[in-house]
Amino acid sequence: MTDTSRTKSTDGLSPDDELKLNVLLAGNVLAVRVDEGARAVYALTEKGEARVNLSPMGRVDRYFTQVRELLGRHAMNLPSGYPVHLMRWTRMGQSSPKKLEQLLKLGEDEAVLAVVHAPTITDELARRVWWALPTMEVARVMLSRAAILEGQMGKHLAQFLAEHLPFEQDQTAAMHTVRALVASRLLSAEELEQLWRKALRRPHYLIGFLESMPNQLPYHVNARDGDLDLLVDCAAARLLKQCFSAAGQAYIASAILVLEKPQTHEAVALLLDLLGAYFEAGLDPGANVHLSAWPNEAKAMADLSQLKASLAEPILIRTTAVGPLLRRHLEPLFAPILANLHTLKGGAL
């Protein structure tokens, strides 16, 4: 073999591999997955999964670059494969709906994620995505789409997340998994109860419940005693009655648990935003007059209604601490919040 022929043999795909790939792609391919470790290309078709084994020449990474270029030419007429600038653009969910199917044929994880984040993703596309890239992140994002929640993939994704939650090492990712599961409303009553019991041991999980079912928490707490029947009807009065109810006491008790054991920066930010939104009615201008018999509670609700994530930023930007150490850093901010919540709970600190 001459030097020239040797160079040509490592510059592109071998004729045999190129032929096999072209035959594969000539069929009705729905999605493509590239596995450099196994040196293979997989295709999802209407008849099932097909596999082509490749025999790379030279450096494997360079060879699979050529493979992806072929896939790009076939799926989207992209001469050099899936370009980096398109990867960044489509990841933000800005891809045209008509291109989503083609993106799944590129054999690129970023192209798959572009489909995942597209607001126009369908239940069928979700099925193809799940074949191509079955990860926790992908399941969480897709489970937030109405078309998938109402389709056949929703329950499957929810079960996957629930089963794999115990193996999630990243605390923030685990929190988002619980948020996705609770928000989906796809868990059975028994599954939801099991998740709730886990959340009581890992309070940052409770954020998902506070966010999606604030008035239906599976927390058995008694209503607070107090004669509120004579209150003038206003937003603040209705909020106070809510806080005194069994549901409101459950919400307050759950929020206290999270504040006592904040695990991550993101959990803190989410909780402050949720609390501020929950107590927003406490800003009622007439609260001081209408709730004159409950001045401490009125002030507590008003203070809590002003909570937002930005209040914690001056502390969070100065530390990377998590867990108990993070709690100590946040003590100046959290102490008055806990005091206000205990005022509404009717119990001492």
Q: Would you write out the chain's pLDDT as a tens digit for each of its 349 residues? A: 344 333 333 458 999 999 999 999 998 999 999 999 999 999 999 999 999 999 998 899 999 999 999 998 988 876 665 555 555 555 554 566 678 999 999 999 988 998 999 988 999 999 999 999 999 999 999 999 999 999 999 999 999 999 999 999 999 999 999 999 999 999 999 999 999 999 999 999 999 999 999 999 999 899 999 889 889 889 999 999 999 999 999 999 999 999 999 989 999 999 999 999 999 987 888 788 889 999 999 999 999 999 999 999 999 999 999 989 999 999 999 999 999 999 999 864 4
| One domain for residues 173 and 265 | no
| One domain for residues 299 and 248 | yes
| One domain for residues 139 and 88 | no
Distance in Å from the first CA to the final CA of the chain: 85
| One domain for residues 103 and 139 | no
| One domain for residues 180 and 234 | no
- Residue 58 CA to residue 11 CA, distance in Å, equals 9
Q: Which of 101, 133, 165 is the last residue of a domain?
A: 133
- 327 contact partners, CB below 8 Å, separation of at least 6: 260, 261, 262, 334
| One domain for residues 226 and 325 | yes
- The answer to whether residue 99 sits within a structural domain is yes
Closest CA to 221 of 345, 335, 319: 345
- The answer to whether residue 110 sits within a structural domain is yes
Q: Give the tokens for residue 332.
A: 């100046």
Closest CA to 69 of 124, 107, 38, 17: 107
Q: Contact 181/174 with Cβ under 8 angstroms? A: no
Closest CA to 209 of 230, 231, 187: 187
- The answer to whether residue 211 sits within a structural domain is no
- The answer to whether residue 1 sits within a structural domain is no
| One domain for residues 90 and 151 | no
Q: Which of 144, 167, 201 is the last residue of a domain?
A: 201
Closest CA to 31 of 50, 13, 18: 50
- The answer to whether residue 213 sits within a structural domain is no
Q: How many domains does the chain have?
A: 3
Q: Which domain holds residue 240?
A: 221-345
| One domain for residues 106 and 143 | no
| One domain for residues 194 and 262 | no
Q: Give the tokens for residue 49.
A: 């999964």
- The answer to whether residue 216 sits within a structural domain is no
